[in-house]
Homo-oligomer: A and B are copies of this chain.
Amino acid sequence: MGAAHSSATCLSSPATTNIPRCYLFHRVSKPSSNSSSIPTIYLHLQKPTSNFISQNHYSLKSPCSSSKIVPLSCARVRLMETQEGSASKPVIDFHGIDEELIQKMAYDALVWSSLHGLVVGDKSVQRSGKVPGVGMVHAPFALLPVAFPENHWKSACEVAPVFNELIDRVSLDGNFLQDSLSRTKKVDVFTSRLLDIHSKVLEMNKTEEIRLGLHRSDYMLDEQTKLLLHIEINTISSSFPGLSCLVSDLHRSLLKRYGEHLGLDSKRIPSNTTVNRFADALAKAWTEYNNPRAAVMVVVQPEEHNMYDQHWLCAALKEKHNVTAIRKTLAEIDKEGELLPDGTLLVGGQAIAVVYFRTGYAPTDYPSEAEWRARLLMEQSLAIKCPSISYHLAGTKKIQQELAKPNVLERFLENKEDITKLQKCFAGLWSLDDSDIVKRAIERPELFVMKPQREGGGNNIYGDDVKENLLRLQREGNEEDAAYILMQRIFPIVSPMFLVRNGICHKDHAVSELGVYSAYLRNKDKVIINDQCGYLMRTKVSSSNEGGVAAGFAVLDSMYLT
- List residues of A whose CB falls within 8 A of some B CB: 45-51, 60, 107, 110-117, 119, 122, 125, 127, 130-138, 257, 300, 308, 311-312, 315, 318, 326-328, 332, 336, 348-349, 502-503
Contacts and interface: CB of A to CB of B under 8 A. Distances in A.
Shortest 4 CB-CB contacts between residues of A and residues of B: A133-B138, A110-B133, A115-B117, A131-B503
Contacts of A300: 47
5 contacts: A48-B326, A110-B134, A113-B132, A125-B125, A133-B503
Contacts of A134: 110, 122, 137-138, 502-503
A132 B117 contact: no
Most buried by B among A131, A311, A327: A131
Nearest to A139: B133
A311 B135 contact: no
Given A50-B348, A127-B503, A332-B49, A133 B117 contact: no
Contacts of A257: 318
Nearest to A57: B130
Contacts of A332: 49
Given A115-B117, A311-B114, A348 B137 contact: no
Given A117-B117, A312-B115, A315-B115, A131 B45 contact: yes
A503 B107 contact: no
A88 to B, nearest CB: 36
A46 B131 contact: yes
Nearest to A298: B47
A47 B125 CA distance: 18
Nearest to A130: B46
A233 B517 CA distance: 54
Most buried by B among A125, A134, A315: A134
Contacts of A50: 336, 348-349
B119 A132 contact: no
A319 to B, nearest CB: 9
A115 B308 contact: yes
